[in-house]
Amino acid sequence: MKQHILNNKYIYSLIFFLFTAKTIFYFGYNTFSEAPDSWAFNHFVLELLNNNFNDYVGERTPGYPYLVYLLNHDKMLVVLVQMLMGVITSILWFKTLLNLKISEKIAFYCTLFFALYLQNFFYETFILGETFMLFLNSIILYILLNNYFEKKQILVEICMSVLLAILILVKPFFLFYPFLFYALYLIKNPFFKKVISVKLIIFILPAYAYFSWCNFVEEKTGYFEPTAYLGLNLAQNCLFFAEKGPKEYDFIIKPYVKYREEMSQKGEDASMAVWKVWGGQHLAPKYTKFADVTHQFGKYAKANIASNLGDYFYYSITNSWFDFWKVFDMKPYMNFKDGSFNSVVSVINTIQMLLLLILKFVFLILSFYYFFLFIKNRKVTNVMILLAFIHAAAILQALVVYGTNAKYAFPYEFFMLVVILLFLKEKLNWTSKASNTFELE
């Protein structure tokens, strides 16, 4: 037993420090948090508990609400489970760094540094899916960076397929994952030799989950889509050129522009202007159901984007994509009862957010360096896998929605640190262990 503890001293130390920190935070905060998005999750959970979906309007997918349902909608229990997920996630990070041949000591301190990032604790107190998404992403990337592309094991592919299906049901945005996996697998390999592979299994459950859920949504709302938010999100991307849409959509354009200007003048977040169009019932009496309204938003957005592609790409880059590299702060949504505790948390949070902003800036600079190496050497390394996931997410979120885009970066922020660590390992030779990068033959 003693030898076992010594052999795993860093993992047990990590668990001890995180358990202590999370306990202090749990009792210091002593509540759960609600954000504007929490309402839809809570509503879905109530529908699951009552087994009645007559009022379902297509607002959320079932992945995260079902987890809350399994916990009987006990919100403090949800917080505890999410904190437990945070501990397991940190262990996965530590083991991922070891697999990448980072020394145990450096892996421990870097994992602890990021695990104590207060935004992790903040999200764990919310009825939101971010902690669950981070947990699932960390499992997936742990498998990927453990020589996944060199293995052809049916059990591994089945496990990956299950994880991807769950993740897509938590957030359909992650639908691009199986395609990215397969693209990475095929890079620099003769297409005719590798196209038929056991790795095609990863598409089966995600496809079944996605299309089955879209069928359910169509039964309830009349539209074959994962959520009714899709059209609304696309309309948000038209914020800065809303008035350029076809005249046939003036019933959307006029109130949209009006709210945009009003909110901008007041210093409010104008990306939410389209929500005010819905809230103000400007599409009534013809369109009153949420799904019908958002479908019209989607039709308007597609027509506007099609005729103004230059504006669409310009604002997607200068606003949505740029915002991905900022740091989203959940603290303003939290209500701390103890003023002293709140002050300490605020100071630490401000410092940590500044450090993370610097980390993201360094990561972006290194991205250019590694993309240059990829073009030059055509080698798929662990760094390139991480870059592919992070930058694909950054680009796709920019093309789909505008508003609070920095939240989309949350599942990837630790892995930005991993890229920096691998660069330092390569340049400073932090460890004498052999490199764990791989190349597809």
In sequence order, what DSSP letters do the residues of 254-313 get, joined into one string?
HHHHHHHHHHHHTT--GGGHHHHHHHTTTTTTT--SHHHHHHHHHHHHHHHHHH-HHHHH
4-18, 43-57, 278-292, 339-353: lowest mean pLDDT where?
A: 4-18
Domain that holds residue 375: 2-227+325-428
Statement: residue 381 has pLDDT above 80: yes
Q: CA–CA separation, 46 vs 69, rounded Å?
A: 8
For the CA atoms of the chain, what is the radius of gyration? Answer: 23
Instruction: Establish if 267 belongs to a structural domain.
Output: no
Q: How confident is the model at residue 335 (pLDDT cuts 50, 70, 90)?
A: confident
Instruction: Find the mean pLDDT for residues 145-165.
Output: 91
The 3-state DSSP class for residue 52 equals coil
- Say if residues 170 and 129 touch (Cβ distance below 8 Å): yes
Instruction: Find the mean pLDDT for residues 240-245.
Output: 94
Instruction: Establish if 306 belongs to a structural domain.
Output: no
Q: CA–CA separation, 27 vs 23, rounded Å?
A: 6
pLDDT number for residue 98: 95
Question: Is the dihedral angle over the CA atoms 166, 175, 160, 370 positive or is it negative?
Answer: negative
Instruction: Find the mean pLDDT for residues 232-257.
Output: 94
Statement: residue 73 has pLDDT above 70: yes
| β-strand partners of 33 | 126
In sequence order, what DSSP letters do the residues of 40-86 get, joined into one string?
HHHHHHHHHHHT--TT--S---SHHHHHHHHTTT-HHHHHHHHHHHH
pLDDT number for residue 189: 63
Q: How confident is the model at residue 191 (pLDDT cuts 50, 70, 90)?
A: low
Q: How confident is the model at residue 377 (pLDDT cuts 50, 70, 90)?
A: confident
Instruction: Establish if 250 belongs to a structural domain.
Output: no
Helix-helix angle 382-400:339-377, to 10 degrees: 110
Report the run of H or E that residue 170 belongs to, with start and end. Answer: helix 154-170
Burial 286-298 (b: 16+ CB within 10 A, else e): ebeebbbbbbbbb
Q: How confident is the model at residue 24 (pLDDT cuts 50, 70, 90)?
A: very high
Instruction: Establish if 421 belongs to a structural domain.
Output: yes
Instruction: Establish if 282 belongs to a structural domain.
Output: no
Nearest of 374, 24, 40 to residue 228 by alpha carbon: 40
pLDDT number for residue 376: 84
Statement: residue 77 has pLDDT above 90: yes
- Say if residues 300 and 245 touch (Cβ distance below 8 Å): yes
Instruction: Find the mean pLDDT for residues 4-22.
Output: 86
**Structural domain tally of the chain?**
1
Instruction: Establish if 142 belongs to a structural domain.
Output: yes
Q: CA–CA separation, 294 vs 109, rounded Å?
A: 47
Task: Read off the pTM.
Answer: 0.92
Q: CA–CA separation, 62 vs 44, rounded Å?
A: 8
Statement: residue 440 has pLDDT above 50: no
pLDDT number for residue 354: 96
Question: How far is C-alpha 363 from the chain's CA centre?
Answer: 18
pLDDT number for residue 192: 55
The dihedrals phi and psi of 33, each to the nearest 5 degrees, come to: -115, 150
Instruction: Establish if 58 belongs to a structural domain.
Output: yes
pLDDT number for residue 6: 66
The dihedrals phi and psi of 126, each to the nearest 5 degrees, come to: -95, 150
Mean pLDDT of the chain: 90
The 3-state DSSP class for residue 33 equals strand
Statement: residue 283 has pLDDT above 60: yes
The amino acid at residue 222 is G
Q: How confident is the model at residue 428 (pLDDT cuts 50, 70, 90)?
A: confident
Instruction: Find the mean pLDDT for residues 87-107.
Output: 95
Q: How confident is the model at residue 49 (pLDDT cuts 50, 70, 90)?
A: very high
Q: CA–CA separation, 100 vs 145, rounded Å?
A: 8
HSE (side-chain half, CA atoms, 13 Å) at 126: 24
CA distances from 326 to 236, 319, 320 (A): 19, 11, 10
Higher pLDDT, 338 or 218: 218
pLDDT number for residue 178: 96
177-191, 227-241, 372-386: lowest mean pLDDT where?
A: 177-191
pLDDT number for residue 185: 87
Burial 315-351 (b: 16+ CB within 10 A, else e): bbeebbbebbbbbbebbebbebeeeebbeebeeebee
Torsion of CA 413, 414, 420, 423, to 10 degrees: -130
∠ CA(81), CA(87), CA(93), 5° rounding?
A: 135
Helix-helix angle 38-50:63-70, to 10 degrees: 60
pLDDT number for residue 436: 41
Query: Other C-beta atoms within 10 Å of 282: how many?
Result: 17
Instruction: Establish if 16 belongs to a structural domain.
Output: yes
